[in-house]
Amino acid sequence: MATCALISHVMTLLPDSQHSQVLWSGCGHIYKFTYQDTLLVAKVATVPEQLAHPHITQSQHSLRRKYHSYQKELNFYQHRAQWYIDACPMPEVVVLAEQNAVFIVVFKDFESQGYHNVSNATPEHVAQMLEWLARFHAIGLVRPVLTETEVQGNYWHLDTRPDEFARMATGKLKQCASAINQRLMACPFQTLIHGDAKLANFALSSQGVGVLGYDFQHIGKGVGVSDVMLLLTSLYCSRELQANVQICLDGYFAHLAQALAGHWPVTKIIALEKSWRALWPFVWADFQRFLLGWKPDHQKLTPYMLHQSELCLEQLSDVSC
């Protein structure tokens, strides 16, 4: 397909908001269309002057954060996706472009290839998503994908949420927010994390034999259990979380060990698992800090999250926060 011609065709779709899906907070649209007998999906994103979200304080920082997120996604598809595509299936990219602060990604339609989003994941779905994440994190650990200037991944880390931090009520968690962030950043096992690994960003095979991951706006450096934590918050209510978290963690680390075998000695794999398991309470406390400043009545503020945060703060009791 001729790149320029396809981009021009996509641009003609932009006024048609009636036959599209609106992106987060009015930041563009997703269009499904046929071009040269191929069913395609175009993600066309641009950051408006006013984000249409009730829980985000409008600021230049929030606008820059969203703009940079689309830049990061294009950069991932352009320069890194080829390292991941075999082990971690993702939608096939046809065209990438940035024109006058408009970000365009055109994919082959994965629904026509037998993949679809689900609102309720089966245990088999959960296992497949955890395996996808384990493989994704393993590649970041064994390949030189992290640069010296790599930014932190995920959308809630402390440095990217000053507005929410300012709104957060005073308390121990707020006092220790920097110490928690530093503990996560100081982990010697850093990898490239997805950063928004929720159920909605995975598509499952209708044949039950595969999963696609997508939406890489919040990719960056971090610890793998940060992605696992977010995925579980999108899958389970508090009671289900209590019942399934250990199975999910064990399954994730089993897949991670399998993906690293042949690249790392067993002793190093064991050290990685020990390090990341120790950070499990810290990733929950870090996410809770964001939620309390963003939407303090959020349904994800479950008893399990609060308990993990308490465990984190107990470990910091001898640290001057």
Gap between the Cα atoms of 204 and 193, Å rounded:
20
Contacts of 262 (CB under 8 A, 6+ apart): none
Which of the listed residues 61, 89, 112 is the one where a domain comes to its end? 112
User: For residue 74, what are the domain limits?
Assistant: 3-112
Gap between the Cα atoms of 303 and 247, Å rounded:
19
Q: Which of 245, 226, 235 is nearest to 284 (CA)?
A: 226
Which of the listed residues 112, 141, 162 is the one where a domain comes to its end? 112
In a domain, 253, yes or no: yes
Q: What percent of the chain has pLDDT over 70?
A: 90
Contacts of 53 (CB under 8 A, 6+ apart): 24, 25
Q: In what order do the strands lie in the sheet with 211-213?
A: 115-116, 202-205, 211-213
pLDDT at 26: 61
Contacts of 163 (CB under 8 A, 6+ apart): 56, 57, 59, 61, 62, 293
Least confident of 11-15, 16-20, 143-147, 252-256: 16-20
pLDDT at 54: 57
User: Do residues 51 and 152 both lie within one domain?
Assistant: no
Using DSSP, how many helices (H) and how many strands (E) does the chain show? 12, 10
CATH number at residue 279: 3.90.1200.10
User: Do residues 31 and 45 both lie within one domain?
Assistant: yes
pLDDT at 17: 55
261 bridge partner residues: 264
pLDDT at 78: 92
CATH number at residue 105: 3.30.200.20
Least confident of 76-85, 205-214, 237-246: 205-214
Structure tokens at 160: 């990217």
Q: CA of 108: how far to CAs of 115, 183, 210, 290, 310, in Å?
A: 12, 40, 17, 35, 45
pLDDT at 3: 73
User: Do residues 84 and 130 both lie within one domain?
Assistant: no
The angle subtended at Cα 30 by Cα 127 and Cα 164, nearest 5°, is 70
User: Do residues 32 and 127 both lie within one domain?
Assistant: no
Q: Residue 284, Cα to own-chain centre: how many angstroms? A: 15
Which of the listed residues 78, 112, 146 is the one where a domain comes to its end? 112
pTM exceeding the 0.85 threshold for the entire prediction: yes
User: Do residues 283 and 203 both lie within one domain?
Assistant: yes
pLDDT at 101: 80
Least confident of 43-52, 82-91, 194-203, 291-300: 43-52
Three-state DSSP string of 200-268: HHEEEECCCCCEEECCCCCCEEECHHHHHHHHHHHHCCHHHHHHHHHHHHHHHHHHHHHHHECCECHHH
User: Do residues 155 and 81 both lie within one domain?
Assistant: no
Question: Can you list the alpha helix ranges (DSSP code H) found in 109-223?
Answer: 123-142, 162-167, 172-175, 177-185
pLDDT tens track for 89-101: 999 999 998 888 8
Looking at the structure of the chain, the number of domains it has is: 2
